[in-house]
């Protein structure tokens, strides 16, 4: 049995969700429908090197930042003298040119509405992404989500240890001046759920990138289809029967 962070079981046997003061949104696969475009751009990077890859080759490295995303597949494919920084630079060039454009449809329906509801309720909101800031800014702009919406934006550039390490989430909670136990994380990747658990934060997972079975294995608080399926009640009280151990 997997027990997620912040579960409080009362004598009645009912589960108390606890206080919520902030919501930390992952970007790729949560706010933005950008996981598949990212894989396509990465396939193009390797194709320019003469290395044939499929989008599925990148699945095990999803949510861990572009450097590991690319270097992980390079290692599996046995690419000699792989230059991670050069590959990452080319990845961003391709990605921003092809996919992160206004009116690209990259934003998930319901994202703006949920962020607005959280803010109206007095919750602090942040982006906490393993992507570099150049990609975060481009994606948010393409999705019609102004950076001014957020109380903090955390990106990979400032961190040595990315998800599944908890560093990004813990830094976000510190900047927001909210204890980790009062933060809710919304994630789509195994590494992201693991990072939330390591940070002792509750985590709502969405099945936009991985299957429900794959996400259940790492113990999110509960699972929804996508950000448009997450209600303010889910965030504030764990939803109706949504909280699971």
Catalytic residues: 26, 28
Q: Which helix (DSSP H) or strand (DSSP E) does residue 128 occupy?
A: strand 124-128
Cα of 52 vs its chain's centroid, Å: 27
Q: Is the distance from CB of 174 to CB of 157 less than 8 angstroms?
A: no
Q: What is the 3-state secondary structure (H, E, C) of 172-218?
A: HHHHHCCCHHHEEEEECCHHHHHHHHHCCCEEEEECCCCCHHHHHCC
Measured N-to-C along each axis, helices 35-48 and 84-98 cross at an angle, to the nearest 10 degrees, of 120
Cα dihedral value 198, 200, 202, 203, nearest 10? -10
Cα of 91 vs its chain's centroid, Å: 19
With vertex at residue 119, the alpha carbon angle to CA 105 and CA 138, rounded to the nearest 5 degrees, is: 30
């Amino acid at each position: 049995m997997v027990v997620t962070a912040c579960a409080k079981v009362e004598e009645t046997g009912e589960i108390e969700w606890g206080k919520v003061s902030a919501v930390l949104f992952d970007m790729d696969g949560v706010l933005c429908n950008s996981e598949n475009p990212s894989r396509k751009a990465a396939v193009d990077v390797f194709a320019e090197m003469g290395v044939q890859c499929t989008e599925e080759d990148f699945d095990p490295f999803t949510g861990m930042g572009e450097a590991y995303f690319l270097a992980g597949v390079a290692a599996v494919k046995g690419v000699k003298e792989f230059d991670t920084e050069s590959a990452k630079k080319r990845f961003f060039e391709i990605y921003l040119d092809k996919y992160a454009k206004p009116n690209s449809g990259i934003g998930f329906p319901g994202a703006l509405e949920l962020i607005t509801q959280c803010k109206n309720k007095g919750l602090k909101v942040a982006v906490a992404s393993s992507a570099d800031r150049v990609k975060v800014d481009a994606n948010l702009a393409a999705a019609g989500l102004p950076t001014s919406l957020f109380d903090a934006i955390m990106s990979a550039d400032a961190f040595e240890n990315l998800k599944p390490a908890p560093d990004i989430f813990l830094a976000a909670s510190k900047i927001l001046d909210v204890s980790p136990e009062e933060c809710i994380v919304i994630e789509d990747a195994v590494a992201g759920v693991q990072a939330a658990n390591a940070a002792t934060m509750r985590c709502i997972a969405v099945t936009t990138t991985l299957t429900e079975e794959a996400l259940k294995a790492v113990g999110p608080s509960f699972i929804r289809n996508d950000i448009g399926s997450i209600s303010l009640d889910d965030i504030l009280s764990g939803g109706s029967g949504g909280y699971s151990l």
